[in-house]
């Protein structure tokens, strides 16, 4: 260190600092790798149903010869692109392939159809409804068309049946 005009200078320290600034540190080594990310999406569907609503069946006058029609609904929600089918069972009171509503021992026959003209029976066998591919996961409704045939001689009462709706995907 020297004193010049009353000021101390540190030439050696400044020079050493300059040397350090000009010196580079060794570079660190690096390696890379890729990480694969994947997921799978499987087809899935849910199904729900709204009851078929029939008005009162009148075996004496209104339905002595005329059929009684009603409608219900099946709702499905499926994975986008899935092409499900919907089948409806014969019901808990069926006799063979004949669907029946029961009030105790009394039976009232009816049928369920895929179309409003009631020409295509909807069941779990050859009458399965094949839908179009799901455009999204949003629920889709399908109307269930019911018909109680006219001319049945039955007693007064509340007639019911339970049908299992199945979606296959």
> Residue 19: helix, strand or coil by DSSP?
helix
pLDDT at 126 (0 to 100): 77
Sorting pLDDT into bands at 50, 70 and 90, what band is 125?
A: confident
Per-residue pLDDT at 82 exceeds 60: yes
pLDDT at 25: 64
Continuous H helices in the chain: 11-22
Q: Which residues does 123 contact at the CB level (< 8 Å), separation at least 6? A: 87, 88, 89, 90, 97, 112
Q: What is the model's pLDDT at position 16?
A: 42
Instruction: Out of 4-18, 47-61, 64-78, pick the least confident.
Output: 4-18
Q: What is the Cα–Cα distance from 44 to 38, expressed in whole angstroms?
A: 19
Q: Domains in the chain and their CATH numbers?
A: 45-168 (2.60.40.1090)
Is residue 17 predicted with pLDDT exceeding 70?
A: no
């Amino acid at each position: 260190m020297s004193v010049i005009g009353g000021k101390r200078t540190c030439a050696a320290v400044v020079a050493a600092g300059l040397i350090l600034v000009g010196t580079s540190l060794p570079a660190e080594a690096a390696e890379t790798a890729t990480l694969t990310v994947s997921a799978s999406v499987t087809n899935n569907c849910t199904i729900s149903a709204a009851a078929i609503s029939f008005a009162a069946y009148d075996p004496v006058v209104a339905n002595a010869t005329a059929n009684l029609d009603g409608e219900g609904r099946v709702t499905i929600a499926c994975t986008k692109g899935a092409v499900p089918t919907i089948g409806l069972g014969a019901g808990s009171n069926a006799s063979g392939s004949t669907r029946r509503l029961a009030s105790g021992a009394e039976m009232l026959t009816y049928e369920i159809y895929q179309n409003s003209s009631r020409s295509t029976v909807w069941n779990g066998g050859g009458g399965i409804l094949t839908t179009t591919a799901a455009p999204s996961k949003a629920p889709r409704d399908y109307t269930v068309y019911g018909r109680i045939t006219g001319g049945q001689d039955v007693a007064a009462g509340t007639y019911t049946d339970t049908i299992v709706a199945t979606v296959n995907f």
